[in-house]
Structure 1
Amino acid sequence: MLLPHTIRVEAYTPSHAAAWDALVATSANGPFLFARPFMDYHQDRFIDQSWLIWQGTKLRAIFVAAVARDTTTPTTLVAHPGLTYGGLVTVAGVKYAELVIMLDLLRSAWCTAGFQQLLVRPVPRVFCRLHSESFPFWLHQQGAVLSNRELISVVDLSQPVRIGTWRRGNLRKARRHGVVVQQASVQEYAAFWQLLTANLLATYNCQPVHTLAEISGLRDQNPGHLELWVAYVGEEMVAGVLVFQDIRQGFAHTQYIAGSPRGKQVGAVDAVLTHLIQEKPASFKRLSFGTSTKQGTGTVNAGLLNQKEGFGATTEVLDTYLLDLGNS
């Protein structure tokens, strides 16, 4: 049985970057988005408040968290305000009793640092090589409340995927119009970003979360983890899907999906997504289509969810917990 004094917690500093990245690269549930080359690109907007958990000289876990620089609630630790999720990442084989010691020490450190609440979205099942519910159970035991629940659409690539009738109709349409799907070159990102921006402005009156410069930097600093797949009719780019992927954790995730007006008419988006479903199983176990709920409300976007289910996706949950650090 591990004794509490054999484990210690320490606030993250840039001097820990190499040890941090080594743990993420070998962890049970740490996707590449937690590596410092990805996390640090938006450090101008967030104050890193992450933690390391050591057992002697061995790094056993990290806690991914930050506080937004423009926050109105500086005493709330968020895991993570710049990412879809965050929180506890461990090496494989951590037992529940050990995890409780780690989290109890973290809680004490958070309180000492002046935090009064923890707002956390644990890493969802789809993004984990080895998924565990130990952390959510600890949160429940500590009196945390479930403050929000969203739906994630996931395709199990290890099983035969059945494409729905409507989607198959769009694929036939794409073939009739000569839609060609291919992996994009670096030079094609700019054309896709123009297409994506126009699509978001017309549909939702908003801009992409990332700028072209940011996404290009993330691609270059995280080699192999970002791929762009595009569809053409002749010389015209009519659709594209930007994928975040982590071969070790076993997932690919559609970060951005867009089609031009012509692309939507000829079923080009469906052609790209079907190509991904057929192309990825050799290397990945799961394909995430992201959430189908309006952020922060839990309201289901029925049309979007139906589209994803047409590709054989089933639903998993992305939960957010709020823990009052003054209560135990």
Structure 2
Amino acid sequence: MDGLKVIRYSSADFELWNQFLKGSKNAPFLFHRNFMEYHQDRFEDFSLMIFSKDKLLSLLPANIVEKEVFSHNGLTYGGLILSKSIKFEKVLEIYKAVLKYLNQNNISQLYIKQIPKIYSKLPTEEMDYLLHLTKAEIYRVDTLSVIKMNSNPGISSNRIEGVKRAEKLGLTIEEKNDFEEFWNEILTINLKEKHNAEPVHSLEEITNLKKSFPKNIRQFNVYQDEQIVAGTTIFESKNVAHSQYISGNELNNQLGSLDFLHYQLIKNVFPDKEYFDFGTSNEKQGMNINKGLQFWKEGFGARTVTQNFYKVATENFNLLDNIFI
């Protein structure tokens, strides 16, 4: 481990960071610096890069708040990004080096939003064990509703009825390159009325992200007589199609618009993905589940995957000594 060097990311490392992602086993496009930096004005970056001599071994996308580091407050998930070829012992050394570096820089706590396993190309549970060894606290657990696509998930009669209503009414689906209709006429209105909230991404932000990631961020709208009635924003990675935003107008249940849309996405647009991720139905920091939303997602054959949120004291790096016998 003495040969490992931990440094803070700087803009000079932009190309090296992004190049490493291409050979990693657990790095969806959200970790690309062009994605991470769309909201750089809101988060003080504290991303780390771990080297052995001149070879980059791992990345930690992170931000800092006072004396605590978060991986990552501005992303859906975080944690150590690892290469496909890395072995367990080296992961232990990297994690220990990160904790020691943080501790030596007067950072008391490291918070990690676990990357759901469905986003990994290879097994990635080394960190589950190492977090346990360092007495990490699981302070929050979210649930994701996920379809394993090759399992021939059964679709409930309720969802099929919605699809048939939409077809009978002549609803149509279009993939769009702009987000203005969905953001202004459906999504923002619904979030304001139902939750007194706004989308995580502004219209300007999602539009700019689409320009940077045209193949990863896709917008599908549903129309009745050329009027938008529903839509979903898909974040597409190698293994997973994820509905980042799902919203329909007040006639959604009568029209079956969201049933129709997601049936077509699952069956005809993304059938070759390993997983379709509807995302979380949690509210109140993971302590409650929106029952109706969960029921709707499970009607497509989705089942539950968990995402753990960890908190670990950086001084516990020495608990990783003498693990091997």
CA 1:208 to 1:301, structure 2 compared with 1: closer, same or farther past 3 Å?
Answer: same
Structure 2 length as normaliser, TM-score? Answer: 0.94
Structure 1 unaligned segments of length 5 or more: list them.
Answer: none
Q: What is the CA–CA distance in structure 2 between the aligned matches of 1:160 and 1:204, rounded to whole Å?
A: 34
The residue that corresponds to 2:258 in the other structure is 269
Q: Distance in 2 between matches of 1:280 and 1:7?
A: 44
Name the CA distance, whole Å, in 2 between partners of 1:258 and 1:320.
27
The one-letter amino acid paired with 1:142 is T
Partner of residue 154, structure 1: 146
Q: TM-score, normalised by structure 1?
A: 0.93
Structure 1 residue 13: Cα displacement: 0.9
What's 1:198 paired with?
Answer: 189
Check whether the contact 1:166–1:310 (CA below 8 A) recurs between aligned residues. Answer: yes
Which amino acid in structure 1 is aligned with residue 82 of structure 2? T
Cα displacement (A) at 1:266? 0.3
Match of 1:63 in 2: 60
Kept in 1, the 8 Å contact 2:99–2:315? The answer is: no
* 1:25-36 equivalences in 2 (<5 Å): 25-36=22-33
Is contact 1:25–1:32 with CA below 8 Å preserved after alignment? no
Alignment of 1:276-315 (within 5 A): 276-315=265-304
Structure 2: which amino acid aligns with 1:198? I
Offset at 1:26?
A: 2.0
Match of 2:322 in 1: none
Q: How many pairs are equivalent?
A: 316
User: 1:242: which partner in 2?
Assistant: 233
Instruction: Tell me, in whole angstroms, the C-alpha distance in 1 between the residues paired with 2:315 and 2:5.
Output: 21
Task: Give the structure 2 partner of residue 208 of structure 1.
Answer: 199
CA distance in 2, matches of 1:294, 1:196: 18
**Take 2:175 and 2:307, find their aligned partners in 1: how far apart are those partners?**
30
Q: How many Å separate the matches in 2 of 1:274 and 1:243?
A: 14
Distance 1:142 1:78, change over 3 A: same
Distance 1:216 1:326 in 2: 42
Work out the CA distance in 2 between the residues paired with 1:131 and 1:314.
20
Moved over 6 A (4+): none
Contact 1:251 1:288 in 2 (8 A): yes
The percent of aligned pairs where both chains have the same amino acid is 30
Give the corresponding residue for 1:318: 307
Q: Deviations over 1:138-197 (max 9, x none)?
A: 0110011111111011111223132111111111111111111121132xx111101111
Equivalent of residue 123 in structure 1, options 115, 139, 153: 115
2:72 and 2:224 map into 1 onto residues whose CA distance is 40
CA–CA separation in structure 1 for the residues paired with 2:290 and 2:111: 24
Query: Displacement of 1:252 after TM fit?
Result: 1.0
Of 284-293 and 55-64, deviating more is: 55-64
3-state SS, counterpart of residue 255 of structure 1: strand
- Which AA in structure 2 matches 1:284? K
3-state SS of 2:151 partner = coil
Superposition RMSD in Å: 1.4
Query: Is structure 2 residue 10 aligned with structure 1 residue 20?
Result: no
- Describe the SS at the equivalent of 2:283: coil
- Give structure 2 stretches of 5+ with no counterpart: 320-325
**CA distance, structure 2, for counterparts of residue 145 and residue 14 of structure 1:** 33
Q: Which one is further off, 198-207 or 27-36?
A: 198-207
